[in-house]
């Protein structure tokens, strides 16, 4: 190789070490870029295929073979922003670009809420790309059609179809000497419709109409002429000419329900046929009421009663009771709610989006899905901490969680995985190699100058 060749070999070192320094500089400049994945230059030698009499031939310098991205997980920094998400494990967030129709992949989980349309909001990153996933429980299904997660801005009201009650009726109250049915004491023309002397205890339970309006179910209880027996009436509207329901509850000597008359009792399995979302046991014994007429959904009252294997009505200490202690309501629960608007969201480690509304309802409306590749090195870096999959390569899409390849940490972001100490070492090494190659060029130049001066 001539002296001119030596200069060109040195030049390859200068040019490619400068490129390597650029890669290191890029890493260092993105130390505070969330979700950033560091890169490293891969150098290879340039070799002449013409070996000649020297056997192995002479190298022609170096070249930058590739710039590889290393996908090690960065540290997770807590931000307490509920829409900030970090991935713990293998996988990428999938984000959709509505302008190009492309899906990109990123580890940067910095998202915020933005309008999707007049009824929904969506989660987008700082570049405006939408987070992808799946809708849950029928909320927003097929609204986007592109896999974007959408969250309803408003929640419609839901009429009460299930009321769960636990209370104690005082068994020490004396029985009546004369039969005075509560249903006959009710008169909507009077104010109040029933005299306070006509009953022993009143219980008011708030419920919601199908239109989302608040109202009350009022229970009146009174002793009868029989031992261990209480009669009751249920009122849904003070102006009603007749009670919604009336009947008697008979208790055994232990204070447990023995019998209920005057109302329709159904099995939990039958109630779930009418309202599939009810969360009750199949053998539960529920009181069925037609609050809004025969054509509307029924309302089921749960007193904690159940049927045994022989279909006999049973109760225990977890049911309504009649002990020699004051009248008291232990527990009230109903599944109706008024309309509400979106107030907050929370995303758990399984990627499930919990939306909280102004009516105190928190519902699971969507789930963030992650995508994983067999080899992350196939991905192409496109900027904004985004990666693009090559044609024909599709990720394995999965639901995050403890048993999955990755889980999600809410209120946190994944920091850059760049190791500043290693990058400084790389920078010093590249600098020294650059200086060495510059020395090759300088020496070759001096030798050429010496040859020119020869006479």
Least confident of 7-16, 63-72, 122-131: 7-16
pLDDT band at 293, cuts 50/70/90? low
Please say if the pLDDT value at position 55 is more than 80: no
Q: What is d(CA 327, CA 318) in angstroms, rounded to the nearest whole number?
A: 16
Residue whose structure tokens are 């889980």:
407
CA-based torsion, 51, 55, 59, 65: positive or negative: positive
Same domain, 122 and 175: no
Digit-coded pLDDT (tens) for 97-129: 999 999 999 999 999 999 999 999 999 999 999
Please give the pLDDT value at position 95: 97
Same domain, 254 and 366: no
Same domain, 115 and 245: no
Same domain, 378 and 407: yes
Please state whether the peptide bond connecting residue 192 to the residue before it is cis, i.e. omega within 30 degrees of 0. yes
For 184-223, give the DSSP string. Answer: HH--TTSSSSS-GGG-SEEEEEEEE-TTS-EEEEEEEEEE
Same domain, 188 and 87: no
Residue 135 class from Cβ within 10 Å (0-12 exposed, 13-18 middle, 19+ buried)? Answer: buried
Q: Residue 53 has what DSSP assignment?
A: G
- CATH number of the domain at 266, please: 2.60.98.20
Contact 357, 342 (CB under 8 A): yes
Same domain, 241 and 381: no
Digit-coded pLDDT (tens) for 401-434: 999 999 999 999 999 999 999 999 989 998 888 8
Domain extent, residue 35, equals 3-70+417-453
106 φ, ψ (degrees, to nearest 5) = -155, 155
Same domain, 120 and 210: no
Same domain, 345 and 329: no
Same domain, 373 and 423: no
Count Cα atoms within 13 angstroms, Cβ side, for 25: 8
Same domain, 326 and 345: no
Please give the pLDDT value at position 8: 75
Q: What is d(CA 359, CA 347) in angstroms, rounded to the nearest whole number?
A: 19
- Report residue 30 CA to chain centroid gap: 30
Q: What is d(CA 439, CA 10) in angstroms, rounded to the nearest whole number?
A: 8
**Domain boundary residue, one of 299, 334, 369:** 334
Digit-coded pLDDT (tens) for 321-378: 999 999 999 999 999 998 999 999 999 999 999 999 999 899 999 999 999 999 999 9
Domain count, the chain: 3
């Amino acid at each position: 190789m001539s002296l001119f060749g030596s200069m060109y070999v040195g030049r390859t070192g200068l040019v490619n070490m400068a490129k390597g320094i650029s890669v290191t500089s890029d890493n260092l400049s993105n130390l505070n870029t969330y979700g950033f994945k560091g890169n490293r230059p891969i150098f290879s030698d340039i070799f002449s295929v013409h070996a000649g009499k020297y056997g192995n031939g002479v190298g022609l310098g170096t070249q930058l073979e590739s710039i590889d991205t290393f996908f090690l997980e960065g540290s997770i920094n807590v931000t307490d922003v509920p829409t900030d998400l970090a991935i713990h494990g293998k996988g990428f967030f999938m984000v959709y670009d509505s302008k190009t129709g492309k899906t990109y992949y990123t580890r940067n989980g910095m998202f915020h809420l933005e309008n999707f349309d007049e009824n929904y909001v969506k989660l987008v990153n700082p570049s405006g790309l939408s987070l992808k996933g799946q809708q849950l429980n029928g909320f927003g299904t097929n609204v986007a059609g592109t896999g974007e997660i959408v969250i309803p801005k408003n929640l419609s009201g839901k009429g009460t179809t299930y009321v769960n009650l636990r209370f104690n009726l005082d068994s020490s109250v004396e029985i009546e000497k004369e039969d005075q049915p509560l249903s006959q004491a009710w008169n909507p023309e009077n104010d109040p419709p029933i005299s306070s002397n006509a009953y022993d205890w009143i219980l008011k339970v708030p419920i919601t109409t199908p239109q989302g309006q608040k109202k009350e179910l009022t229970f009146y209880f009174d002793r009868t002429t029989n031992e261990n027996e209480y009669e009751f009436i249920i009122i849904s509207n003070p102006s009603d000419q007749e009670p919604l329901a009336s009947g008697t509850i008979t208790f055994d000597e232990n204070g447990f329900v023995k019998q209920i008359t005057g109302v329709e009792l159904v099995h939990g399995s039958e109630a779930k046929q009418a309202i599939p979302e009810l969360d009750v046991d199949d053998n539960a014994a529920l009181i069925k009421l037609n609050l809004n007429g025969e054509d509307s959904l029924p309302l089921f009252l749960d007193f904690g009663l159940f049927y045994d294997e022989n279909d006999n009505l049973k109760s225990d200490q977890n049911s309504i009771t009649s002990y020699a202690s004051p009248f008291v309501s232990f527990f009230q629960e109903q599944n109706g709610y008024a309309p509400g608007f979106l107030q907050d969201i929370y995303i758990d480690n399984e990627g499930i989006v919990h939306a909280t509304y102004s009516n105190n309802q928190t519902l699971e409306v969507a789930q963030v899905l992650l995508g994983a590749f067999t080899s992350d090195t196939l991905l192409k870096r496109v900027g904004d901490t985004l990666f693009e999959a090559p044609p024909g390569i599709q990720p394995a899409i999965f639901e995050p969680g403890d048993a999955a390849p990755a889980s999600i940490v809410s209120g946190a972001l994944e920091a850059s995985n760049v190791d500043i100490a290693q990058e400084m070492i790389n920078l010093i090494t590249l600098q020294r190699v650059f200086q060495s190659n510059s020395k090759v060029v300088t020496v070759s130049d001096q030798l050429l100058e010496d040859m020119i001066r020869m006479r």
